[in-house]
Structure 1
Amino acid sequence: MSDTRQHPVGGLAPVSRRVMNLAHFLTQAARRYPEEPALVMGDRTLSWRALDQRVSALALGLRAHGLEKGDRLLVQSRNGFEMIETQLAAFRLGAIWAPANFRIAPEEAAWLAELTQAKMLVVGPEFEHHRRAMAAAAPALRLTLCLGETPEGGDLGYEALVAAYLGQTCANVDVEHDDPCWFFFTSGTTGKSKAAVLTHGQMGFIVTNHLCDLMPGTEQASDASLVVAPLSHGSGIHYLTQLARGVKTVLPSAPGFDAEEIFALIDAHRITNLFTVPTIVKLLVEDPAAERYSAASLRYVIYAGAPMYRADQQRALARLGPVLVQYYGLGEVTGNITVLPPQLHSADDACFKVGTCGYDRTAMQVSIQDEAGRELPPQESGEICVCGLGVFAGYYANPEANAKSFRNGWFRTGDLGHLDDEGFLYITGRASDMYISGGSNIYPREIEEKMLTHPDIREVAVVGMPDPRWGEIGVAAVVPREGAELDLAALEGWVKAHVASYKVPRRYHLFDSLPKSSYGKITKQLVRQAVERREATP
């Protein structure tokens, strides 16, 4: 796997870009800890040796049906052992793992099949409509593997294919730094999803960086991890860090969020780390189950995907102790932009940089830039841009998006923020979230932070809406705390006392819950649509 590129330093041998195949992490764990538990879900446990054998069997079966290096393996499934097996089998073959979020609609799944031109599909039994839509959209699809016991028509059963090759070994294919290993699908909240291309070399850096910055000291003998988010995205990256250290990973059995089960698993398995999103942290610490189980084993509760409001941080610290780790990063940068470790979290505002998402990750660089690409000094707001080995290779088959996303070698996140004098980053919001009212730029996050300190508010989102006089005005969608009765006139008076007058929302709507994306995030587009429907109703 050599190439003919010349080394940039004269007189040295040509550049070699060969890197470790990510599946070698599994090879290492199976050698070192063959009988130790690798995966646990309900009453089922897989040892590292058994997992390695199943991944080899699956890889051989897929290869026998035509999956080769560079081909795409599309997966539509809920969390389970199979998600991890498909990931590692694809890596082992040098194929590209393309996992869809299980919450997407069939028409979205069809677009992913069309975009990737997947050669093979693994699909759960509850996704029959998705399977049909994907098959119709991807003429290159050669094989569909069905999870469960009753595959359709000419499709094959997943377990039958694994059983046919169990006991045979499959070597990890040689790979180079830029060989794709994962199509990481964006959420598509402002249009069709895009496939961010992650590579073996890039992901090797990401795993190292996660272990360095997010979970230092993680080891096989002392740690256990819990999956609390879809493995198709951030949790799948988090899993690779556990794989690299031979750490046991536990998966909940419930098909959806179940705080009781999560806390029971933390207690029973002495869970030391988990990755999730702020919304789930909030739901966990507010659930009565938090008082019925011990969470003393936790060392790292890592949250990302969206900012966590200050009031929620304080409640989580009070309930769980000094275990919070925040990181900021998009799928395109594989979650690898900033980190705020446990020792820099505090419930005391006097001891905490309120609103920060931390400082640059190891070997990554953050730059705040204006619209012309000029770097701005500390305290000045602009677009958050980033460079480093964590940045993805680009969007698959989307040159227009690539051209918009990169400038002078910097990846443009589309987020707005500023750095302080020490290099800590503060996110103002998405550029698309900002609205202009009476000539003033309004950033909803600042208003939302204040409103969430109200004792009777559970969730809030502020969006800009058209207004004939001011151009745009703020409209607040508010979810009261359980049992609370919010008087909107009184609430507006409270907001006026806590927020600058030109930032005060002009209208307020009460909701039982705010709409969330398939990734569990409160997105302004969905909130705006809900407000529009509410205001269109007489």
Structure 2
Amino acid sequence: MKTWASTKADPKGGIAPSTTRVSNLANHLTRNAARLGDQLALVWGEEQWTWAQMNARVNALAFGLQDRFGVTKGDRVLIQSQNCNQMFESMLACFRLGAVWVPANFRQTPEEVSWLAESSGASGMICGAEFPDHMAACDTPERRFTLVIGGEDGDESDFDTVVKTYMGNTVPNTAVDRDDPCWFFYTSGTTGRPKASVLTHGQMAFVLLNHLHDLMPGITAQARSLCLAPLSHGAGVHQLTQVVAGAATVLFPSGRFDPETAWKIVQDHQISNMFTVPTIVKMLVEHESVNRYDLSSLKHMIYAGAPMYRSDQKFALSVLGKVLVQYFGLGEVTGNITVLPPAEHFEEDDKMRIGSCGHPRTGIEISIQASDGSEMPTGQQGEICVIGPAVFAGYYNNPEANAKSFRNGWFRTGDLGYVDEQGYLFITGRESDMYISGGSNIYPREIEEKILVHDAVSEVAVLGVPDPVWGESGIAVCVLRTGADVTPEILYDWLKPQIAGYKMPRRFVVLEEMPKSAYGKITKKIIRETLEQRGLIDTAVRA
């Protein structure tokens, strides 16, 4: 596999060098240890660490990776772990060495993680002890070492043993250029294999400052952040933002997500911000425990990953008040496309820009483009394309994907939408979610919003499936609210008068629980696979 000094996607899909020196991202930890050394940095379960303690552990780990395993600048280190202090420390240690942090979705199969190891060219692996099959699947000649989180105390491959062995050693932050990679942010793979989005030290520096300015203005070192989602993706970026601000992070305990535990942490630790996805916000605010805890410290409840349905948005506002922050962004743009701040969230429909995910983030420009790259008029739908310092350096070792994803300097998101006269963005769906029925393009989002108006429906997803007459037709997958008792036939009859005939889903199915990704997102790929596995696509109620 290819190693490099720096990376940047060029229009032909290749890799070009850059020589613009920037600060290593791990310098934020160095700065905090010097300025805020005895202040709280991280909490996980009953344990906690100050900035000085965290810096000492990261130094020890980086020294051990360098001295014992020969990790140097440009090496990729694969991480297979649930959230824990060691996972967070591994990120900063890799950055300090100029190595590339390659976190996996811990819920992926051993075969899927083996693909990440191969495609990234990982030279080492840091893995939770509870994933022996993943370690075995990634055992290749290219992998020089494995560190085990929660391994046998005293064993030279145990993460904490290495930290203890090298405690007291220091490692300077490796010199890096703007386009030196720091993180391979793998896409969720909605179609085909996941791709490694190359995030760099300079690009991420902008992203982190943008998060502070646009999502959590006014955050200080006295703030506390609750980490609910896996650090491998958006939550990792969010928690790194806390490091920049000198604010402490509280990691949610391992195991099944429990809303009451989250609200108790908010009260006990005076949590001021958290990042999650709309489905988790919904679970939190609808749980009966929400009224038993003091939530007055919470200033920013940030949600992203998918649009929030209006009915869920209104209920969350009625429970939490004006603390919701929505942002839209992909891993390739590291979450930085739009923001809808608390002041622009309203319960009242006549005040709310219903369906909007906000205005362009600072330093980001949006273009709604036709298939030929021309600009669409205001209010007309097209592909959402962006430029700005938050855009990633390109996909690693994938010139075909780079050539497809960049056009005239614009990154093509694959999402469809339009902007209004004030520049606010409205997402109408993913291009890949659209289906064609009887020659007409159908965008599921509009249909889903209408179905959610029904009092009995808690969650819904509409997707296109093969149809012998129309080519494709819609199937509406619904989850009912607790205690609701309606049939697919009732839902069909209720919806039919409210929607144009060609948009009407021809089949309905009710599930006890909506299939979701490891990050709590409703994805059409997973739903389709679930329906196929259960034989429900052909047996769903049909008009």
Give the Å deviation of 1:536. Answer: 4.3
Measure, in 2, the Cα distance between the counterparts of 1:236 and 1:529.
28
Moved over 4 A (4+): none
Per the alignment, residue 423 of structure 2 pairs with 423
**Alignment map for 1:7-406 (pairs within 5 Å):** 17-64=20-67, 65-136=69-140, 139-150=141-152, 156-221=157-222, 223-406=223-406
- Rate the CA distance shift 1:151–1:193 in 2: closer, same or farther, 3 A: farther
Shift of 1:470: 2.1
Shift of 1:244: 0.7
* In structure 1, C-alpha distance between the alignment counterparts of 2:254 and 2:35, rounded to whole Å: 31
Q: What SS class does the counterpart of residue 536 from structure 2 fall into? A: helix
How far 1:16 sits from its partner (Å)? 6.1
**1:156 CA displacement:** 0.5
Q: CA RMSD in A?
A: 1.7
Structure 1 stretch displaced more, 495-504 or 391-400:
495-504
Shift of the alpha carbon at 1:537? 5.7
Amino acid at match of 1:96: V
For the Cα contact (< 8 Å) 2:337–2:361, is it kept in 1? yes
CA distance in 1, matches of 2:404, 2:539: 38
Deviates more, 1:290-299 or 1:88-97: 290-299
Distance across 2 between alignment mates of 1:362 and 1:468: 48
Structure 2 alignment gaps of length 5 or more: 7-17
* In structure 1, distance between residues paired with 2:153 and 2:39: 33
In 2, Cα distance between equivalents of 1:102 and 1:443: 32
8 Å contact from structure 2 (residues 153, 161) kept in 1:
no
* Corresponding residue number in structure 1 for 2:15: none
Structure 1 residue matching 2:302: 3-state secondary structure: strand
Percent identical residues:
54
**Cα-to-partner distance string for 1:494-530 (whole Å, 9 max, x where unaligned):** 1123322321111111111121123322111222233
Q: Is the 8 A contact 2:64 2:166 kept in 1?
A: yes
TM-superposed CA distance for 1:488, in Å, is 2.4
Helix, strand or coil at the partner of 1:88: helix
8 Å CA contact 1:143–1:155 kept in 2: the answer is no
Partner AA of 1:55 in structure 2? V
- Matching residue of 2:464: 464
Report deviation, 1:197: 0.3
**In structure 1, C-alpha distance between the alignment counterparts of 2:336 and 2:136, rounded to whole Å:** 36
Task: Give a deviation string over 1:187-207, Cα, whole Å, max 9, x none.
Answer: 113111111000000000001
Deviations 1:142-196 (A, max 9, x none): 11001113289x9611111111110111110111101000000111131111110
Contact map agreement 2:336 2:361 (CA 8 A) in 1: yes
Residues in 2 aligned to 1:306 and 1:420: alpha-carbon distance in whole angstroms: 20
Partner of 2:11: none
Contact 1:61 1:162 (C-alpha < 8 Å) held by counterparts:
yes
In structure 1, runs of 5+ residues without a counterpart are 4-14
1: CA distance, partners of 2:391 / 2:256: 32
Report the TM-score, using the length of structure 2 for normalisation. Answer: 0.94
The DSSP-based 3-state class of the residue aligned with 1:57 is helix
The TM-score normalised by the length of structure 1 is 0.95
Once the two structures are superposed, residues 58-84 of structure 1 have per-residue CA deviations (whole angstroms, 9 ceiling, x without a partner) of 000000120000001111000010111
Aligned equivalents of 1:355, 1:394: Cα separation in 2: 30
Aligned to 2:475: 475
- The CA deviation string for residues 368-402 of structure 1, in whole angstroms up to 9 with x for no partner, is 00010001111111100000000000001111111
> Contact conserved, 2:187 with 2:331, CA < 8 A, in 1?
yes
Partners of 2:370 and 2:303 in 1: how far apart? 29
CA distance, structure 1, for counterparts of residue 254 and residue 200 of structure 2: 32
Tell me the secondary structure at the aligned position of residue 390 of structure 2: coil
Question: Is 1:272–1:298's contact at 8 Å kept on the other side of the alignment?
Answer: yes
Q: Kindly tell me the number of residue pairs found equivalent between the two proteins.
A: 522
What letter is aligned with 2:48? T
**Cα deviations by residue, 1:283-307 (Å, 9 ceiling, x for unpaired):** 1111112122121111101001111
Q: For structure 1, which segment, 368-377 or 518-527, has the greater mean C-alpha deviation from structure 2 after superposition?
A: 518-527
